[in-house]
Amino acid sequence: MRMITRLAVAAVAAGGMVAAALAANDSAPADLNDPVSVRQHMMKNVGGSMKLLAGMVKGEAPYDARVAEAAFRAMNNAALGLGAFFPAGSDAGETEASPKIWQDMAGFKAAIGAFARDTAAAAAARPADLDAFKPVFGKVAGNCKSCHEAWRVKKE
């Protein structure tokens, strides 16, 4: 029973570290009636998780398997719900979403599906050390990069 308690405490601590880092990303809450606002907040959380993970890869922070798993799970949770926040007509306003999303919604949803699968696999991998973590991180980072290149318009 003590081991279960220790694991629960470790999971809460790791989740808390990720949540604290993600909360620091944005001080204003999402407008839940605006799909653009919701998806932007979701993507900021993904970016916050990526920043934590990249810091470990770059040696700016020590590798922590619990934090890595929690960050991958946060990214996966975003991926699982993200597709719902690109309804028709949400391509206007302050958004970096490419018009290609609405022209090829099936392709876009396939990309989100790949991101969901990759982040779920990364969380399940639970790499024990930095050397095992790097290729897992690399696959997810490559997924992020390819999606941003294909489905995002960089605003100036």
Q: What percent of the chain has pLDDT over 70?
A: 82
98-120: average pLDDT? 96
Q: What are the residue boundaries of the structural domains of the chain, listed by start?
A: 2-151
Which parts are annotated binding residues for heme c? 144, 147-148
User: pTM to 2 decimals?
Assistant: 0.80
Given the candidates 3.40.50.410, 3.40.50.2300, 2.60.120.560, 1.20.120.10, the CATH classification of the domain at 2-151 is: 1.20.120.10
Res 94: pLDDT: 87
Side-chain half-sphere exposure of 88, counting CA atoms within 13 A = 1
Per-residue pLDDT tens over the stretch 54-86: 999 999 999 999 999 999 999 999 999 999 999
Side-chain half-sphere exposure of 98, counting CA atoms within 13 A = 15
Whether the Cβ atoms of residue 150 and residue 111 lie closer than 8 Å to each other: yes
Which parts are annotated binding residues? 144, 147-148
